[in-house]
Amino acid sequence: MRKRRAVLCQAESEQLANRAVVLMASQGIDATVDAADVGLRFNVTVAEADIDRARRIFMEEYPHGLPRETAEEDHASADPITPPITWFGRGGPMVVAILVACGTMFWLVHGGSDLVNRARMIEMGAISYALVEQGEYWRLAAAIFLHFDFTHLLANMGTFIIVAPPFAHLVGPWRLLSVFLATGVAGNMASHELAASAALKAGASGGIAGIIGALGGHALRRDRRSAFKSWHIVGALAAFYAFLIGFGPGRDNVAHIGGMLAGVACGLLIEPRDPPGVGRPWQGA
């Protein structure tokens, strides 16, 4: 008597479906490829008794489903089991837009000079404790795009270009912008309330720490079904933060930590977007 089978996932081509078959075989699960009843799709099926374990394994390897078939893949000679990695994915234009915005604001403030112009920084939105207390709360957001000198700008944008593209590809460009702004404001609010200072405050590092936190928060989501334990992820998050931003004199550590904690909350709450044309891996089951 033939064992009853359940659909694990659907793929656009037999080649993509075979990726799931090989993955299952590596874990001792028998999987087969069948043509779907509707549309030009292929079902990957496993025995009903194995479906729960198969879904767990599949989600660890392909949390957003099998990648979409592309013309390049049809002729690629690379390993057919490993999906292509593109650093600047669908969120690339937003990453570039934020980089350009910070660079433009730097030029408008400094005009090519590397000297700090306090009056110009205040005019463009740097955080002054007294002015924020007087009701100029817009500075908490405007200051995210301001930097004191070229070294400050270069350090922040260098870190941003490392952490932002993978997060943008995960959640989409507008959510990247929302998290960057929300966590940057949250970090600036924490700094204003908990680390009051007469010095001007500005910089994108609170929002950047927020993106790092959001990546960690996403990894902590229950639906990620990660092979790593929560403390592994938290430890990696702390190490990543220390390596890319770190602690030290002159750094607004309260803003950084406030932004990162806000980012963790965002990562826990925001659902990742499925890649275009790809649904949940148990679609059709």
What kind of fold does domain 92-269 have according to CATH? Rhomboid-like fold (1.20.1540)
Distance, in Å, from the CA atom of 163 to the CA atom of 85, rounded to the nearest integer, reads 15
pLDDT for the residue 275: 46
pLDDT of the chain along its 285 residues, tens only? 557 888 888 887 788 888 888 888 878 888 888 876 555 578 888 888 888 888 888 887 777 777 765 544 444 434 443 344 455 566 788 999 999 999 999 999 988 676 778 889 999 999 999 999 999 999 999 999 999 989 889 988 988 988 888 888 888 889 999 999 999 999 999 999 998 888 899 999 899 999 988 888 887 776 555 544 554 556 566 655 655 565 555 577 888 889 989 999 998 888 766 544 344 433 333
Q: Give the residue extent of every domain in the chain.
A: 5-75, 92-269
pLDDT for the residue 35: 72
pLDDT for the residue 71: 43
pTM confidence score: 0.63
Distance, in Å, from the CA atom of 112 to the CA atom of 157, rounded to the nearest integer, reads 17
Q: How far is CA 21 from CA 17, 71, 279, in A?
A: 7, 22, 18
pLDDT for the residue 121: 93
Q: What is the three-class DSSP state of 43?
A: strand
Residue type, position 125, single letter: G
What kind of fold does domain 5-75 have according to CATH? Alpha-Beta Plaits (3.30.70)
pLDDT for the residue 77: 39
Q: For residue 216, give both structure tokens.
A: 């960690």
